[in-house]
A and B are shown apart, each in its own frame.
Chain A
Amino acid sequence: MPVTIASLALALAILAVAAGVTFIRLVKGPTLPDRVIAIDLIGVLMVCILVVTAAATAQQALLDVAMVVALISFVGTVAYARYIERSQS
């Protein structure tokens, strides 16, 4: 079991570093599509963190939360893309 605990902690640490790295692009990003890509990736990283937490705590409800977060992230990304296309024409 210590192997599993250590690997879950390591995975959470790596995912936190990944979210921080993505946040740099969200702040820097020269154009709006860059920022939308960064937000989309942060949503996927949130789903990843929820899946690892569900594996660590054996809570099924966290997987439902991950599903809802994925759905809302997808809808938000599509809405941002439509907004970018509308604002250009």
Chain B
Amino acid sequence: MIEWFSSGLFVAGATLALLASIGVLRMPDVLTRMQASTKASTLGLGSLLLGLAIRHPELSFVIRAASISAFMLLTTAVSAHVIARAAARGGAPLWEGTIVDDRPPTGRGADGPPS
């Protein structure tokens, strides 16, 4: 039973990572690509680590899996935000279906000094 559960988690995590890469390939825009890559790959890695911790329920494996999971949960958000800020300030072209663009119309990327 435990084996079936962890096997399902492994396949589900790998499928989520595949969905993230398909989203990166097919999304029309820098910001939407970043969104697809970050969220789906974080959930996929978390599911893989949960499958690992269920398959090897020793303390050393569980501690390492938990620390990798916490670290990725923290850092993927930060790195996605940093890339999105750099792309938005640089005037990255948005998808033509975009409705709201809060960037100032004159001189995209001129909303303050880049720090």
Contact = CB atoms under 8 A, between A and B. Distances in A.
A14 B52 contact: no
A60 B41 CA distance: 22
A31 B89 CA distance: 13
Given A37-B24, A40-B79, A60 B61 contact: yes
Give the dominant DSSP class at B's interface. Answer: helix
Given A74-B79, A81-B83, A18 B18 contact: yes
Given A47-B45, A70-B68, A71-B71, A81 B17 contact: no
26 contacts: A7-B10, A14-B11, A14-B15, A15-B14, A18-B21, A18-B22, A21-B21, A22-B25, A33-B87, A34-B30, A36-B83, A38-B24, A40-B83, A41-B24, A44-B45, A45-B41, A48-B14, A48-B44, A48-B45, A51-B45, A51-B48, A63-B64, A63-B65, A63-B68, A81-B85, A86-B114
Pairs of residues from A and B, 7 with the lowest C-beta to C-beta distance, nearest first: A7-B7, A11-B14, A14-B14, A33-B87, A63-B64, A81-B82, A18-B21
